[in-house]
Structure 1
Amino acid sequence: MNKEEQVMTSFRDLFNKMAWLNKTKMEDSLKGYKPSEVHCIEFIERNADSNVTKLAESLYMTSGAISKITKKLLEKGYIESYQKPDNKKEIYFRLTGQGKAVYKVHEELHKEFQARDKAVFEQVTEGQFDSMLSFIDKYSRHLDAEIKKQGIDIKQE
């Protein structure tokens, strides 16, 4: 196996291990919520003036899928929609008190997982972090270009 294959295999293994370790705790703490709903809630809390387009782009989902999720979240009372006085066409979302409570549970879980893994990150130097972040950024930009080459517009699917 060459270095490129080792990196890709290692990324997949790392992601799968994290998902496996976090899964039970996430499912127990966020019973009754689908991961896509929780990720929508998280994005809406962290990004002002979230709308279907921004959610679709960020979560790599179609606008149709996001519309279904936001409709459910609206019905359940986790988010509310609003419009800006100068733009009556666009619909935006913000969290309700119930939605903020879900967000808080999710954030606490992330902090717990971060604390669990802190021992590893404490050993990483600034230079190593910079190298990893640089690689991830380059690879992400490459994948963005490949997506664009295929003519895929996540917003329109």
Structure 2
Amino acid sequence: MDKEEQVLMSFKNLLNKLILLNKTKMEESLKGYKPSEVHCIEYIGKHVDSNVTKLAEFSYMTRGAISKMTKKLIKKGLIESYQKPDNKKEIYFRLTEQGKIIYKIHEELHKEFRERDKAVFEQITEEQLDMMIHFAEKYSRHLEAEIKKQGIKINQNKFDE
């Protein structure tokens, strides 16, 4: 196995272990909510004036799939839609009080996971972190270009795979 394969396998194994460690706690704490719904809530909670297009880009889902999901989240009382007085065409979303509770639970879980893993990051220098970020961003841009070049339409949420 060459170094490139080792890097890719290491990232895959790392991601699989993170999912394994975090999954049970997430499922218990956010029972009744699909990962895609929680991540949609997270995005809306972090971004003012979230709309279908922005949510679709973030989640790698089609606008149609996001429309269905937002309707479900509205029906569940987690988000509400609104329009700006100066733009009656565009529909935006914000969290309801119940949605804010789910958002807070999710954020607290991520905080707990970061605390659990803090010991590793304390051993890493700023320079090493910068190098890892640079690599991840560069590789991500490459993959995005390949997706566009191949004309791949992404229909499934990356978190539900």
Shift of 1:153: 5.8
State the secondary structure of the residue aligned to 2:48: coil
**How large is the Cα RMSD of the aligned pairs?**
1.2
Q: Which residue of 2 aligns with 1:67?
A: 67
CA distance in 2, matches of 1:48, 1:111: 22
1:93-117 per-position Cα deviation (integer Å, ceiling 9, x unaligned):
0000000000000000001000000
Q: Is 1:35 matched up with 2:35?
A: yes
CA distance in 1, matches of 2:78, 2:14: 32
CA distance in 1, matches of 2:60, 2:6: 26
Q: Which residue of 1 aligns with 2:25?
A: 25
Instruction: Report the CA distance shift for 1:85/1:73 in structure 2 as closer, same or farther (over 3 A).
Output: same
State the secondary structure of the residue aligned to 1:80: strand
Equivalent residue runs for 1:2-151 within 5 Å: 2-151=2-151
TM-score normalised to structure 2 length: 0.93
How many percent of aligned residue pairs carry the same amino acid? 75
Q: What is the aligned residue count?
A: 155
CA distance in 2, matches of 1:11, 1:154: 22
Deviates more, 1:62-71 or 1:28-37: 62-71
Shift of 1:8: 0.8
TM-score normalised to structure 1 length: 0.95
Structure 2 unpaired stretches of 5+: 156-161
Tell me which amino acid in the other structure corresponds to 1:16.
N
Moved segments of 4+, more than 3 Å: 152-155
Shift of 1:68: 1.1
Query: Do 1:56 and 1:154's aligned partners in 2 also have CA atoms closer than 8 Å?
Result: no
Shift of 1:151: 2.8
Shift of 1:86: 1.5
Instruction: Report the CA distance shift for 1:84/1:153 in structure 2 as closer, same or farther (over 3 A).
Output: farther
